[in-house]
């Protein structure tokens, strides 16, 4: 009989060896702890006793879980937790612990496709970007962070992971290592390339303390700036710019995609820029522009002002 806890540890080592991010590993650790607690509570001790029915029972139990806010777990959170379990059972099937993968045919709860809650105007983006004092090292670095987020629509974790060798300032590209270690190339405008180049040549070295770790964005200790640090930079400068919205790093991502869509960029190009596997994920931005079109239609179409009598 193989111990479940040892197999979970082996699974986490496997994911780490595959180059999964610390953020992903942390989420997997949390999800597997939740699943193993469920197994213990239901009296399941052997890996052989995990079948499709057990996983579906776990999925149903998640529907009744209450989070710290006192509300049920969001559908998206439930899907993420079950997805980790499905990855675990697939791993065990490949290790010949199962003849048939018990999680293979378990359907994930459908995640609602919601419109981005907050989209910045061009003036608001400009106000935030111009907030850092570029005559200081930290201010110049923060300006680069904000410019890259809006120019490329990359995620904060992707920006945090950029190394100097990933930059191609002459060609105007950055090689991005995205979710699940998937790689893509995103374009960078000439202006932002020049700004970033100046940062690399004249500012970045001021942050290095002992040895150079090769990451593009460094914190005041000379270490790689992690995603939460980048998030804090955005929050701080949005607040200083007087923007009365809950601005985050993802706000820049949504805003970039929406502004490009409004300017006529093809949805498939937006998909490639954002690194979405499915076009369905990208088409959410077309709904934003359709809402704008509807407002314009209501305001300017003459038919909306007809007063017809029967």
Set 143, 204, 253, 259: catalytic member: 253
Set 141, 155, 156, 204: catalytic member: 155
Set 179, 224, 262, 287: catalytic member: 179
Told to judge if 143 belongs to the known catalytic residues of this protein, a careful annotator would answer: no
Backbone φ, ψ for residue 37 (5° rounding)? -65, -40
Told to judge if 250 belongs to the known catalytic residues of this protein, a careful annotator would answer: yes
Told to judge if 155 belongs to the known catalytic residues of this protein, a careful annotator would answer: yes
Set 175, 177, 250, 262: catalytic member: 250
Task: Indicate which residues carry an active-site annotation.
Answer: 155, 179, 250, 253, 276, 285
């Amino acid at each position: 009989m193989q111990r479940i806890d040892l197999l979970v540890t082996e699974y986490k080592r496997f994911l780490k060896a595959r180059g999964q991010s610390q953020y992903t590993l942390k989420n997997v650790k949390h999800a597997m702890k939740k699943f193993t607690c469920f197994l213990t509570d239901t009296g399941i001790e052997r890996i052989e006793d995990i079948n499709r029915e057990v996983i579906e029972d776990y999925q149903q139990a998640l529907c009744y879980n209450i989070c710290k806010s006192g509300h049920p777990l969001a559908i998206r959170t439930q899907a993420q937790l079950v997805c980790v379990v499905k990855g675990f059972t697939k791993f065990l099937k490949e290790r010949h612990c199962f003849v048939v993968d018990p999680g293979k045919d378990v359907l994930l709860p459908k995640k609602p496709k919601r419109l981005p809650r907050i989209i910045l105007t061009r003036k608001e983006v400009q106000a935030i970007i111009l907030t850092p004092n570029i005559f200081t090292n930290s201010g110049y670095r923060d300006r680069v962070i904000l410019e890259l987020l809006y120019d490329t629509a990359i995620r904060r974790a992707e920006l945090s992971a950029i190394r100097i060798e990933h930059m191609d300032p002459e060609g105007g590209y950055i090689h991005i290592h995205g979710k699940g270690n998937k790689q893509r190339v995103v374009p960078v405008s000439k202006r932002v390339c020049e700004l970033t180049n100046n940062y690399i040549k004249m500012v970045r070295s001021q942050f290095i303390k002992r040895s150079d770790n090769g990451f593009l964005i460094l914190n005041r200790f000379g270490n790689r700036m992690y995603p939460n640090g980048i998030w804090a930079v955005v929050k701080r400068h949005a607040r200083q710019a007087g923007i009365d919205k809950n601005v985050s790093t993802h706000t820049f991502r949504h805003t970039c995609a929406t502004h490009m869509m409004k300017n006529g960029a093809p949805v498939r190009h937006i998909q490639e820029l954002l690194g979405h596997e499915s076009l369905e994920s990208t088409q959410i931005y077309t709904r934003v522009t359709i809402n704008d079109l509807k407002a314009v239609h209501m305001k300017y179409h003459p038919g909306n002002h007809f007063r017809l009598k029967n």
